[in-house]
């Protein structure tokens, strides 16, 4: 059983550019959650997708958007990049709303640097 | 405002000692509590979760939960240098499915 995989591993972008990060969920999991972890901080919840619909959002501006595909993989898109968007972006998948809370296991993350 | 508080550390303990990591949370309705370990440059790794008041043991790790005091702790027995990492406490939003609020983490240093 494969876990959560994220790509790319590292990314360097320039302020004002747009970026897309990708996440493949664990087999059988229909819910994907994205988190941002700035240096020295704990991860912060960005949003969650359940069966291709956004299911909750943290305190992030609209330039952070996402998608979930029929195979439950997901993308995180960030427009108009700012220097403060430099962070480790983490993805986690889980079995779904019908299941009891199951612990989240994160992928290896994407390290985004905005210059 | 939902918050999770941890001492940033570093917490320095000698090899073989017990390391005690603490966490408080503000959302009284939270039901699920997690401890993650994060090595520098890596993603967080789940090491313990606890849902009920009391203690839960897994190998050298014991999680303790006191919902009345809104307090969660992690004990690491027989600490090893390989335990040196940042430990993140996470709490599930009350009523939210797998939406976690994390503390900023406590850095643990185990010295030989």
**pLDDT tens digits along B85-102:** 999 999 988 766 778 999
C-alpha to C-alpha distances, A57 to A66, B43, B63, nearest whole angstrom: 11, 21, 29
Nearest Cα neighbor of A110 from A94, A93, A86 is A86
Residues B100/B47, Cβ–Cβ less than 8 Å: no
State residue A95's pLDDT score. 82
Contact B104 A33 (CB under 8 A): no
State residue B25's pLDDT score. 95
CB atoms inside a 10 Å sphere around CB A103: 17
State residue B1's pLDDT score. 67
State residue A28's pLDDT score. 83
pLDDT (tens digit per residue) in B37-96: 999 999 999 999 999 999 999 999 999 999 999 999 999 999 999 999 999 999 988 766
C-alpha to C-alpha distances, A21 to A9, B77, B103, nearest whole angstrom: 9, 39, 24
Kindly state whether B110 is in contact with chain A, defined as any CB-CB distance less than 8 angstroms: no
Contact A101 B34 (CB under 8 A): no
Residue A12's pLDDT band (cuts 50, 70, 90):
very high
């Amino acid at each position: 059983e494969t876990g959560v995989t994220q790509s790319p591993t590292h990314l360097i972008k320039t302020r004002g550019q747009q970026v897309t990060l990708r996440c493949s969920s664990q087999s059988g999991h229909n819910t994907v959650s994205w988190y941002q972890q700035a240096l020295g901080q704990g991860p912060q919840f960005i949003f969650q997708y359940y069966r291709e619909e956004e299911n909750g959002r943290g305190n992030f501006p609209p330039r952070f958007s996402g998608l979930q595909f029929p195979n439950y993989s997901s993308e995180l898109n960030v427009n108009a990049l700012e220097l403060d968007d430099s962070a480790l972006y983490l993805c986690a998948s889980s079995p779904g709303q019908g299941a009891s809370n199951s612990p989240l296991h994160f992928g290896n993350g994407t390290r985004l640097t905005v210059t | 405002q939902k918050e999770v508080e941890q001492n940033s550390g570093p917490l320095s303990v000698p090899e073989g000692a017990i390391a005690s990591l603490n966490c408080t949370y503000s959302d009284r309705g939270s039901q699920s509590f997690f401890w993650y370990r994060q090595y520098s440059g890596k993603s967080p790794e789940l090491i313990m979760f606890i849902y009920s008041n009391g203690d839960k043991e897994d190998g050298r790790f014991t999680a303790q939960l006191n919902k009345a005091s809104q307090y969660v702790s992690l004990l690491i027995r027989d600490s090893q240098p390989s335990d040196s990492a940042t430990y993140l406490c996470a709490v599930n939003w009350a009523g939210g499915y797998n939406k976690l609020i994390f503390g900023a983490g406590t850095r643990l240093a185990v010295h030989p």
